[in-house]
Every structure is written in structure tokens, then in C-alpha cells.
Structure 1
Amino acid sequence: MLDLLVVAPHPDDAELGMGGAIVKFIAEGRKVGVLDLTNGEPTPHGSVQIRARETAAASKILGLTWRENLGLPNRSLEDTLENRAKLAEVFRRTRPRWLFAPYWVDAHPDHLAATQLVEAARFWSKLTKSELAGDPFHPERIFNYYCVHLKMVPQPAFVLDITAEWDQKIAAIRAYESQFITGRPTEPPAFLDQLRDEAAFWGKSIGRPYGEPFTCREPIGLKSLMGLV
């Protein structure tokens, strides 16, 4: 059973969007899992075997003890009835209190489909009198992380301070060498430099060195203001 389940369209999306948050939540003692919907291949410098090794290395850096791949097709991910059932059964099996999915506006069709799939499967997961395996279960809330392919400035619901977790996040991203190092331009600002600058931008917005933005379609309730930066 998990406290949080991060659903990612491809291996590396969870690290890019909320690698710092994953490290923080694990350090707080929460049971965190990542479900990659596809293997992310083909890509120019990767392969199924390479991506599997990179994902294992990144998971170790983050401290993850639960990570699975749903085996859906890359580049043609869809919110089909069959895929809803597969994902809903994962929710029933892992029973996470909170789900994390990509932001619902993006240029990448797989990212859009992933969020639609998470929202539909969350609803399906609670249904009684169904053919789904496992007992009905309804995750309390979906939060959305930003890993987008649009040049946009998000308007997040909150920004998480990941200053202490930044080194682990960037190390996990570096583990995906085939995606972010091999064949990438090296003149500054390189891709990894841009990630640092983006995290610094969000950190500045809350008066901290580094941050990660999140949003939610529903209002976010607080028990107190003690957790605010």
C-alpha cells in the first residue's frame, strides 16, 4: 500500500516534474511509488534495455522501493476502456491516498492522455459491481506536476521547497544519459542548466533557492498555516 503514487507517461517524467518532491516525501516517511505508463521508446539515443537500466538507476538515487511500468504503447497512449481498467486495478492494488499526474495542458499527446487516463481510472477504481480485480478504492485527490512541452509560465496552486533535495533530483535526471546528455548541445545554457534555472525561478517565488510547482483542479484544504514557507 502506498501513500502517494506518481503516474508518469514515460520514464524520466516523474524525475523531471517532481523528483525533489519524491525525495522529500520519502524522507518524511511516506510510501511513494512511481508508475510509468510506457517504456518511452523509441528515442534517438535510447533503447528499451537502456531505458530500463537508466530507470533503475534513477529510482535508486531517489530512494524508491516501488516502481512499475504498465506497458502501454509510447507515442500512442490513449484513454481507452482497456487502459482505464489496467490503471484502476493498480490503484486498487496499491491504494494510494494521493495521485500525482502531469499538468492537463501540454503539446505532447501522451502527457494529455496520461492525465485523462488517471482521472478516469480514479473514478473507475471506486466502482462496485464491476469486473475489475481488487476491492473498490477511491484516491482522495489528484495533484498535477509540471513536465510540459509548451513554452508557458504556469500559475501553480503551490510551490514546494526542494532546496535540500535538489542534488538528488538532478542526479536522478542525469541517470537518463540517453535522454538528457547524449546528443544534447553542450554550449550553455545546456538542458540541465535550464532545469536548474527553472527550479531557481520557482525557488525565488517562495524565497528559497529551489522549488517545484504543483497545481490541482480542486481546492486544497489546510489544517493550519504551520507548513507554509
Structure 2
Amino acid sequence: MSSSLAEIPVDFEPLDILCVAPHPDDAEISVGGSLLKWHRMGQRVGVLDLTSGEPTPFGTPEIRRSETQVATKLLELDFRLNLGLPNRSLEATLDHRRAVAEVFRLTKPKVILAPWPEDAHPDHVAATQMIEAARFWSKLTKTNMAGEPYHPPRIFYYWSIHLKIQPEPAFVVDISETIDEKMRAVEAYASQFVTGRTLTFPTALDDIRDRARYWGWAIGKGYGEPIGSREVLCVNDLGAVTGLKLGT
């Protein structure tokens, strides 16, 4: 797990998927099962945390870093970096946009995962605005930004939503085989989900697992994680999409 942009070497092996999270634990809550599944399928997967996530009622920067290290190992991530931007006052400023764009230029992800843009949490809304702008900036020439010009081909959106809404996803990832590891990665953040919290059902952990069960039910599987898209997707293989055996 890196803590400085300078730690990304110029010859860094490009990522297939980079999840950008406003706070450490957002990636685990939203797409932890998917990230681990994709890694085990042979894809290079990483997380960019924008802030430390602190202060919180029962956390400290040191505790949160330790929890993040445990979660990172559980999800078998190929890359993780924290930009150290201001928690609780995250803004889509030009400086913040530049910092994210430089990570894109240095890690060259094919797919970016960002928070769903409609949310009650100001950090999440600002993060998505910043990510989308940084994706555009990443391709700019005639600039002194670190790295070479690069435009990530795709951006999708994950559910880390504080509003009680369920937007229509573009697709749902079957995480039946990784749900237990996902939950262990979430539980690694004890300062957020265990310490000082009630153990009466339903707990915050119950809610996270039950939402995954709902999305699994929606696709006829055990557990799932929804992914959104603002752009139309190309589909050629209906067998792969439906899970049905088509043809001879």
C-alpha cells in the first residue's frame, strides 16, 4: 500500500481496474467482492483512497491505516494509494483534480470505478465530480502533470449511497464466491462497524450483507454487487450476459 504519488514508478504495470474511494472502507463496502473476484480472474486491480476518512467517533489516522492494511491483504489488491485529501471537506478543486489525474496517467487503468453521483454525503458527490474531471484531464498534452497523456476508456459507478434509494444498475456482479472475504474486509474496519455500535439486529454489517443478498436475488445468484453506467454498453454474447447456454 503506497502513501505517496512519488512511490508509483514510471514503469508501473498498468491496472485493469481502479476503484476510486472517498474514504478507506468505501471500496470494501461497495465492490469488495467484485475486486477480489476480478483479481482472481487474473486482472490487475487497485484502490485509490482520496482521504484518510478521519476523524470519526472511534477512529484515528493510525487505526484507520492499520485497518486498511488488513482489508487490502484480504482483497488481494495489486495496488493501493491514499492521496491524503481533506476528509469532510473534499472538494473538486483544480489541485485535487490534478492529483487524481496524475494517478490515472501513472497507473493507466482500463476501467475506473467511482461513487454513484447522487448521494447525501458531500464527500461522495465531490469525489465523483473530481474523478470525472480528472479522467478528462488525464489525456491532456502540453502540461506538467506527472505521467504521459492517458484517457481511461471506461468509467462505471458503484453503490456507496447514504440515501435510501436503489438506482437501476447497468449490471450486477455475482460475488457469491467472495462474499465472505468481502465481509471480512469490511469487518477489518472495526472502528467504523464494531466499536461503539449496537449489536442488536440489524447491525451495519447485517445491512451490507443483506444488500448484497438482494442484488444476488435480483440476478438469480447468492450475492451480488450493482454497477452503474452513464453510457451505453456493447453486448455481443447473450450467453455470457444471461448465464444461459446458447447455440450448439
Query: Scaled by the length of structure 1, what TM-score is found?
Result: 0.98
2:186 counterpart of 1:173: yes
CA drift of 1:226 comes to 3.0
Distance 1:182 1:221 in 2: 45
1:205 is matched with which residue?
A: 218
Distance 1:70 1:223 in 2: 38
Distance 1:145 1:83 in 2: 21
Residue number among 144, 162, 186 corresponding to 1:131 in the alignment: 144
Q: Which structure 2 residue ranges, 5 or more long, are not aligned?
A: 1-13, 244-248
Number of equivalenced pairs: 229
Superposition RMSD on alpha carbons, in Å?
0.8
Residue number among 74, 81, 94 corresponding to 1:61 in the alignment: 74
Alignment of 1:218-229 (within 5 A): 218-228=231-241, 229=243
Alignment of 1:17-56 (within 5 A): 17-56=30-69
2:115 counterpart of 1:102: yes
1:75 is matched with which residue?
A: 88
Distance 1:196 1:77 in 2: 28
Distance 2:37 2:240 in 1: 14
Distance 1:196 1:89 in 2: 34
Distance 2:18 2:49 in 1: 10
CA drift of 1:17 comes to 0.6
2:98 counterpart of 1:85: yes
Amino acid at match of 2:157: N
Per-residue CA deviation, residues 73-122 of structure 1 (Å, 9 max, x unaligned), is: 00010110111111111100000011000000000000001100000000
Q: Which structure 1 residue ranges, 5 or more long, are not aligned?
A: none
Distance 1:223 1:3 in 2: 21
Per-residue CA deviation, residues 125-156 of structure 1 (Å, 9 max, x unaligned), is: 00111221211000001000001110112211
Distance 2:18 2:223 in 1: 23
1:156 is matched with which residue?
A: 169
CA drift of 1:65 comes to 2.7
Query: Scaled by the length of structure 2, what TM-score is found?
Result: 0.91
